[in-house]
């Protein structure tokens, strides 16, 4: 075997070893999807609870029990939905970017 043949064989063996050690392409696992779902649920519930807390506090402070509670409950729900939608858009943009690459 000539030196050139030996070098070519060595290059092939090195390339094969490197290919075997490369990590598998990263795809979305079921755990990533579950984590995303939980994140969105938590965002919705957090907005709702913050609205409830603020409304109840203002009603307690001013003595107007159901007015602020209902108003801030609705506002908290809207804020939670908007946060969820922002997260969904971010995930969708990330998926679109990955498909384009």
List pLDDT tens digits, range 32-83.
888 999 999 999 999 999 999 999 999 999 999 899 999 999 999 999 999 9
Is there a domain that residue 95 lies in? yes
Q: State how many domains the chain has.
A: 1
Closest by alpha carbon to 45, among 37, 16, 9? 37
Is there a domain that residue 19 lies in? no
Taking the C-alpha atoms of residue 94 and residue 86, their distance in angstroms, rounded to an integer, is 12
Query: Is the whole-model pTM more than 0.85?
Result: no
Taking the C-alpha atoms of residue 48 and residue 81, their distance in angstroms, rounded to an integer, is 9
Taking the C-alpha atoms of residue 80 and residue 72, their distance in angstroms, rounded to an integer, is 12
Provide the domain limits for residue 64. 28-100
pLDDT exceeds 60 at position 1 = no
Is there a domain that residue 58 lies in? yes
Is there a domain that residue 88 lies in? yes
| 90 token code pair | 């971010």
Taking the C-alpha atoms of residue 27 and residue 30, their distance in angstroms, rounded to an integer, is 10
Is there a domain that residue 67 lies in? yes
Encode pLDDT of 3-18 as tens digits: 888 888 989 999 888 8
């Amino acid at each position: 075997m000539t030196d050139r043949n030996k070098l070519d064989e060595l290059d092939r063996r090195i390339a094969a070893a490197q290919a075997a050690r490369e990590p598998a392409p990263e795809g979305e696992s079921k755990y990533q999807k579950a984590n995303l779902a939980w994140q969105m649920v938590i965002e919705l519930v957090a907005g709702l609870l913050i609205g409830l807390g603020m409304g109840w506090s203002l009603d307690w402070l001013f003595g107007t029990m159901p007015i602020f509670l209902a108003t801030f409950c609705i506002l908290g729900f809207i804020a939670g939905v908007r946060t969820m939608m922002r997260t969904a858009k971010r995930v969708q943009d990330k998926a679109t970017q990955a498909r384009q690459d």
